């Protein structure tokens, strides 16, 4: 088949509704390449929110150089962790929250599936709000005064585009990211050149903090923008890697997935830090208007692409989360439902007096549960089960599944990690300020405590059970057959 034939087939496929849902993707349906996985994750992270968080370190009082180094190193660690989860879907053809049943039990996995659905839905509202706020802010900077009709009309238009692509499913998402990300990347390169030429005389090392205060700010940045941000995609990983060709090298897939997270995220974080420093403006819209001038219109294209490229991924994953709760819905109905529900947090943020406070609290809740879930899941997959899963048992009745109804070892380790993450966290409000963090001068090591405690405890609770957990032999690249229960 020629390259042209492949392109036509891919475009035709993108317009067909993906009806796979949470069934294992059959070998014949797994045609994605490692490069296509890269485009998906790059598109999801080429978003204004990734650019805006680049200014967090400066706001905390760290120097420009410290902000960039901490963010990039932390994001690299988060991306490397993400790659480990992408390999799970590639090996089994199963989405992330159904795979969680092997760890937490057939219905014990309802807990992470529910949290995942709520988190993805929250992100839909956040990403759309950030773009809406930026577009309206830029309009004001250009002398325009759009009213509420324009504001809500733009919000609805963005949501409709996102929901339509999300309802179509994986193939539409893959095609959208493949053809739009390169265009966005070109505009981003131009934006980067513009920023670099307007830096002027800036200080790379000037900081308003010293000693312990600087270390405290560094840990907070590492959690919020570094490891925590890069790792924040782990519960999405297998939802997309399950479509990758069985013959794709795991190393190649790992590299493509990790780089899809790391490259755009670190790039935009650096650009955000430099933009904020170069313009000396506090508001993102002011930064765009003051730095880019006539480039504002193409920059708006990048901004508008951001929520669509990110939220189509969120809508699809949120729908799989709903189905993983054994809800008797079609995947398309679940996608439509999550897209509509995602409008609720968007409306709350539009009417809120402080988006920053709500966003910070949301991020605090994300890190608290994601880190212990990651610790338990990594130990279970790579140590206890040695990457072997009985795919049929994942869909069996809870009373007969070999994974049991609720795995209390996993749940106990998860809850212990959850408590530890909270104890070491220093969030924006008292409820997210743990005793250990307060006692150590507001140092935030929540992500490390959550992963470490849950991983070690789960390993201790499951010692000697690795052989039993791994048998019988797993489906490797080949998922379960057609007798698998469908949702």
Q: Does position 36 have pLDDT exceeding 70, yes or no?
A: yes
Q: What is the mean pLDDT of residues 223-243?
A: 90
Cα–Cα distance, 360 to 455 (Å, whole number)? 26
Higher per-residue confidence, 161 vs 412: 412
- What confidence score (pLDDT) does residue 487 get? 32
Neighbouring CB atoms inside 10 A of 390's CB total 19
Q: For residues 185 and 177, is the Cβ–Cβ distance under 8 A?
A: no
Count of residues in the chain: 487
Q: Indicate the pLDDT class of residue 478, thresholds 50, 70 and 90.
A: very low
Q: For residues 71 and 224, is the Cβ–Cβ distance under 8 A?
A: no
Name the percent of the chain lying above pLDDT 70: 84
Please report whether residue 75 resides in a domain. Answer: yes
Cα–Cα distance, 232 to 431 (Å, whole number)? 21
Q: Does position 467 have pLDDT exceeding 80, yes or no?
A: no
- What confidence score (pLDDT) does residue 223 get? 87
**What SS3 class is residue 304?**
helix
Please report whether residue 399 resides in a domain. Answer: no
Please report whether residue 256 resides in a domain. Answer: yes
Backbone angle region of 59, left / alpha / beta, with phi > 0 → left and psi within -120 to 50 → alpha: alpha
> Measured between alpha carbons, how far is residue 296 from residues 138, 146, 155, 284, 310 in Å?
8, 17, 20, 12, 21
Cα–Cα distance, 245 to 472 (Å, whole number)? 24
Q: What is the mean pLDDT of residues 388-408?
A: 92
Q: Does position 482 have pLDDT exceeding 60, yes or no?
A: no
- What confidence score (pLDDT) does residue 479 get? 41
Q: For residues 486 and 104, is the Cβ–Cβ distance under 8 A?
A: no
Q: Does position 326 have pLDDT exceeding 90, yes or no?
A: yes
CATH number at residue 47: 1.10.4160.10
Q: How many domains would you assign to the chain?
A: 1
Q: What is the mean pLDDT of residues 301-318?
A: 81
Please report whether residue 397 resides in a domain. Answer: no
Per-residue pLDDT reduced to its tens digit, 453-466? 999 999 999 987 65
Per-residue pLDDT reduced to its tens digit, 348-362? 777 766 565 666 667
Q: For residues 123 and 358, is the Cβ–Cβ distance under 8 A?
A: no
Is the pTM above the cut of 0.75?
yes
Q: Indicate the pLDDT class of residue 255, thresholds 50, 70 and 90.
A: very high
Q: What is the dihedral of CA 173, 179, 185, 191, to 10 degrees?
A: -100
Q: Does position 475 have pLDDT exceeding 90, yes or no?
A: no
> Measured between alpha carbons, how far is residue 213 from residues 71, 203, 440, 444 in Å?
17, 20, 11, 12
Please report whether residue 159 resides in a domain. Answer: yes
Q: Which of 143, 141, 151 is nearest to 286 (CA)?
A: 141
306: CB partners within 8 A, 6+ apart: 46, 47, 48, 49, 127, 130, 131
- What confidence score (pLDDT) does residue 135 get? 77
| Least confident interval from 100-114, 284-298, 385-399, 448-462 | 284-298
Give the domain range for residue 95: 3-356
Cα–Cα distance, 163 to 57 (Å, whole number)? 34
Please report whether residue 449 resides in a domain. Answer: no
Please report whether residue 164 resides in a domain. Answer: yes
| Least confident interval from 199-203, 247-251, 282-286, 390-394 | 282-286
| Least confident interval from 125-129, 436-440, 456-460 | 125-129
Please report whether residue 161 resides in a domain. Answer: yes
């Amino acid at each position: 088949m020629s390259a042209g034939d492949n392109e036509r087939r891919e475009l035709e496929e993108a317009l067909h509704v993906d009806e796979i849902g949470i069934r294992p993707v059959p070998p014949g349906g797994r045609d994605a390449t490692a490069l296509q996985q890269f485009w998906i994750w790059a598109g999801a992270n080429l978003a204004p929110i990734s650019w805006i968080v680049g200014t967090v370190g400066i706001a905390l009082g760290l120097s420009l150089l410290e902000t960039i180094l901490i963010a990039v190193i932390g994001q690299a660690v988060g991306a490397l962790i993400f790659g480990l989860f992408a390999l799970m879907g590639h090996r089994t053809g199963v989405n992330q929250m159904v795979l969680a049943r092997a760890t937490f039990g057939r219905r014990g996995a309802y807990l992470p599936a529910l949290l995942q659905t709520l988190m993805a839905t929250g992100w839909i509202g956040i990403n759309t709000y950030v773009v809406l706020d930026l577009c309206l802010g830029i309009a004001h900077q250009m002398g325009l005064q759009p009213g509420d009709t324009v504001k809500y009309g733009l919000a609805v238009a963005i949501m409709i585009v996102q929901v339509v692509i999300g309802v179509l499913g994986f193939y539409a998402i893959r095609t959208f990211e493949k053809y739009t990300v390169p265009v966005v990347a070109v505009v981003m390169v131009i934006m980067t050149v513009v920023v670099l030429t307007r830096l002027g005389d800036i200080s790379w090392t000037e900081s308003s903090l010293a000693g312990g205060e600087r270390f405290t700010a560094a840990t907070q940045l590492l959690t919020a923008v570094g490891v925590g941000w890069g790792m924040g995609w782990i519960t999405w990983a297998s939802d997309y890697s399950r479509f990758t060709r069985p013959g794709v090298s795991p190393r190649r897939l790992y590299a493509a997935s990790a780089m899809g997270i790391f490259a755009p995220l670190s790039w935009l974080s650096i650009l955000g830090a430099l933009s904020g420093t170069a313009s000396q403006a506090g508001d993102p819209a002011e930064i765009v208007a003051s730095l880019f001038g006539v480039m504002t219109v193409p920059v708006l294209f990048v901004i508008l692409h951001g929520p669509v490229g990110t939220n189509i991924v969120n809508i699809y994953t949120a729908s799989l989360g709903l189905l993983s709760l054994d809800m008797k819905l079609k995947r398309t109905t679940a996608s439509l439902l999550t897209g509509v529900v995602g409008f609720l947090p968007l409306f709350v943020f539009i009417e809120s007096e402080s988006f920053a406070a709500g966003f910070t609290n949301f991020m605090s809740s994300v890190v608290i549960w994601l880190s212990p879930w990651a610790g338990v899941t990594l130990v279970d997959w790579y140590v206890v089960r040695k990457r072997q899963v009985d795919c049929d048992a994942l869909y069996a009745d809870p009373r007969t599944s070999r994974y049991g109804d609720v795995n209390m070892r996993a749940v106990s380790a998860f809850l212990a990690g959850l408590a530890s993450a909270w104890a070491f966290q220093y969030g924006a409000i008292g409820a997210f300020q743990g005793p250990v963090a307060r006692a150590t001068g507001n140092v935030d090591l929540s992500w490390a405590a959550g992963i470490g405690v849950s991983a070690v405890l789960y390993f201790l609770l499951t010692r000697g059970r690795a052989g039993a957990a791994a048998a019988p032999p797993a489906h490797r690249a080949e998922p379960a057959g057609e007798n698998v229960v469908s949702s």
